[in-house]
Chains A and B, each alone.
Chain A
């Protein structure tokens, strides 16, 4: 069965410092990978996705993520954190086999807290 793990419940970082939010997955073959952000009392917003090609994917708000097949990881990164980046971040996976079901399986989420 496919699954996604986000090992950190919370990540704390000072404004201006680089940030990393970790994600590992367990899916047979090559999955499609996604990152979403959820601000307080809001729905989820799409940040970026990995489908194929370049392992480094750039997304919204200066975020990027690196697909690492050997480590089955898809960590979210940003070179310089902003206080406004403080939110809940979800990694998600979709198995590319089995047809276009479009179902996403989400990780448990990581709360990013950026201190001024």
Chain B
């Protein structure tokens, strides 16, 4: 298994500002993902964080709003830009281990709970 640390764990942000969430994995992983979990709802995939190249975004999510970095095999960041109250959510980092392949489970961080005022 992989242990995933996210920070901040929670934050209260002002409308119009941006916040960067960091995700650190304790081992090298092939794939990392960012999910959003809005209050009382399920998880929605934002993007796949690709090491050394641009992230792959899902429908409805764009790089200008959610820029993602992945400089190496253990670290990724997600920025929520120009925030509005609709961005209030839990943002979850996840990773698939090298041994998992397509059959492997994902491991999740504890999440970053953002509240935008």
Binding site for B on A (CB under 8 A): 32, 34, 36, 41-46, 49, 51, 90, 94, 96, 99-109
* A-B pairs with beta carbons under 8 A, tally: 58
Give bound CA distance, A32 to B105, whole Å: 10
Beyond A32-B103, A42-B111, A101-B48, 11 additional pairs, beta carbon < 8 A: A34-B105, A42-B110, A43-B4, A44-B92, A44-B94, A102-B30, A105-B45, A106-B42, A106-B44, A108-B41, A108-B42
Chain A residues with Cβ below 8 Å from B41 are 108-109
Kindly name the residue among A32, A49, A103, A109 whose own CB sees the greatest number of chain B CB atoms within 10 A: A103
Q: Do B104 and A103 touch (CB < 8 A)?
A: no
Chain B nearest CB from A71 CB (Å) reads 22
Chain A interface main SS type: loop
- Chain B: interface size category: 20 to 34
Chain A residues with Cβ below 8 Å from B111 are 42-43
The 6 closest A-B pairs by CB, nearest first: A43-B108, A100-B102, A44-B108, A102-B96, A43-B110, A46-B105
Interface residues of B in 70-117 (CB under 8 A from A): 92, 94, 96, 100-111, 113
Chain A nearest CB from B110 CB (Å) reads 4
B66 contacts A by Cβ under 8 Å:
no
Give bound CA distance, A101 to B111, whole Å: 22
Give bound CA distance, A51 to B48, whole Å: 22
Give bound CA distance, A62 to B59, whole Å: 37
Give bound CA distance, A44 to B106, whole Å: 9
Q: Do A107 and B102 touch (CB < 8 A)?
A: no
Q: A94-B102, A108-B41, A109-B42 are in contact. Are A43 and B109 (CB under 8 A)?
A: yes
Chain A residues with Cβ below 8 Å from B100 are 102
A-B contact pairs, 27 of them (CB 8 A): A36-B108, A43-B92, A43-B108, A43-B110, A43-B111, A44-B92, A44-B94, A44-B108, A46-B105, A46-B107, A49-B103, A49-B105, A51-B103, A100-B102, A101-B48, A102-B30, A102-B33, A102-B96, A102-B100, A102-B102, A103-B45, A103-B48, A104-B106, A108-B41, A108-B42, A109-B41, A109-B42
